Amino acid sequence: MALFGERKIDETKGVSFNRVPVENALYSNDGRASIVLGGDRNKAADSGYSGLGFADSSAIDLVCGRGKTIAESDKAKAISINPDFFSDAARIYISEKTDVDNNFKLVKGNVGNSIGSSAIALKADAIRIIGVEGVKIVTRANPTNSNGKESGVKGIELIAGNDDSYLQSMVLGENLVDCLYNMTEVISNVKSQVHSIMKFLDTFVDNYTDHIHPPPGSAISPNAQALKILFPFEDIQHSSEDNSSSDDIVKIRNNYLKIPTDLNTYILSPYNKTN
C-alpha cells in the first residue's frame, strides 16, 4: 500500500487519481482501490462544498474500481481522473456537508432532497445490509441535525428504479387487520339482517295473501305463488352460519387476518415493521 498523500498511478489503465491539496489518500498497489480523506466534492477540484471553500465540509471517500466504466478512449486521453459517482464501480461516501441526492441524481420523493447536510451514501451494483440479530432503520434519532437545526420527522421511502411518480404510503398492518375485521363483521351483520327480512317477507306472503286486494281496475288479486316467483325467497333462505357467504367470510379471516399455519397468505410480515 502506498503512503498517505502519495499519488498512485493505476498501471493497468495508465491514469492516476487527481488528488487536490486538501486531500490525503491511501491506495491499493494497483491504484484501483483507495480511501481519500479530504473535502466534499463529487467531480472536479472546484465541485462540492469543499470546492466552494466551505471549511466544514470534510469527507471520506472509499472507492473500489475508480473510473471503471469510463470509455477506454477517454482514459487514454486523461492524465488523471476525478471522483465520478457514476463511473466508479463501488463507493462509500461520508461527508460533513454535501448535497447527497443531487450528487447521485436521486429523485426527491416525499422526503425531499438533503441540501448542505451531513450524509453517508453507499453505491454499488449490489448492496446487502445483514444483521444477524436484526436491522433497524430509524429517522430523527436526534431532535436537531448536524447544522443545529430542528430536524423534523421524515419517513423511510423505498423507491425502485429511482422513480417517485407512484409513491404510496405503506400499510400499517395491525390497523388493516382491525379495519378488515370490522368490514367483515358489518357484511356479516347486514347479510343476517337481509336473511331475517326475507324470512319475514316469506311468512308475511304466506299468511296474508287473502288480505291483498287487487289494484284498481284489475280483476285478479296477486297470490303468494305469484309473489314467490317475483321474489325467490327459497334461493336465499339459508342460515347465516351455513350459507356460502358466511363460509367465505370465515375463510378470509382465517387465511389473511389470523396467523395461519401457512404464513404465505397472512397479510402481515411476521418479522418486518414500518411506521
Q: Which three cell numbers stand for residue 223?
A: 297470490
d(CA 206, CA 204): 5
Nearest to 71 by CA among 63, 81, 61, 58: 81
Question: What is the b/e burial string over 149-159, where b = at least 16 CB atoms within 10 angstroms of the residue's CB?
Answer: eebeeeeeeee
Task: Provide the 8-state DSSP code for 209.
Answer: G
Share of the chain above pLDDT 70, in %: 77
Nearest to 274 by CA among 153, 156, 175: 156
Beta partners for residue 120, in sequence order? 94
pLDDT of residue 240 exceeding 80: no
Owner of C-alpha cell 420527522: 153
Residue 12 confidence (pLDDT): 41
Residue 77 confidence (pLDDT): 75
Residue 125 confidence (pLDDT): 97
pLDDT of residue 8 exceeding 50: no
Give tens-digit pLDDT for 196-235: 887 777 777 666 665 656 666 655 555 555 555 555 555 5
d(CA 128, CA 257): 31
pLDDT of residue 49 exceeding 80: yes
| Local confidence band at 43 (pLDDT 50, 70, 90 cut-offs) | very high
In contact, 67 and 80? CB cutoff 8 Å: no
In contact, 67 and 87? CB cutoff 8 Å: yes
| Local confidence band at 46 (pLDDT 50, 70, 90 cut-offs) | very high
Distance of CA 263 to the CA centre of its chain: 21
Residue 224 confidence (pLDDT): 55
Give tens-digit pLDDT for 125-175: 999 999 999 999 988 878 888 888 888 888 888 999 999 998 888 888 888
Give tens-digit pLDDT for 77-109: 777 889 999 999 999 999 999 999 999 999 999
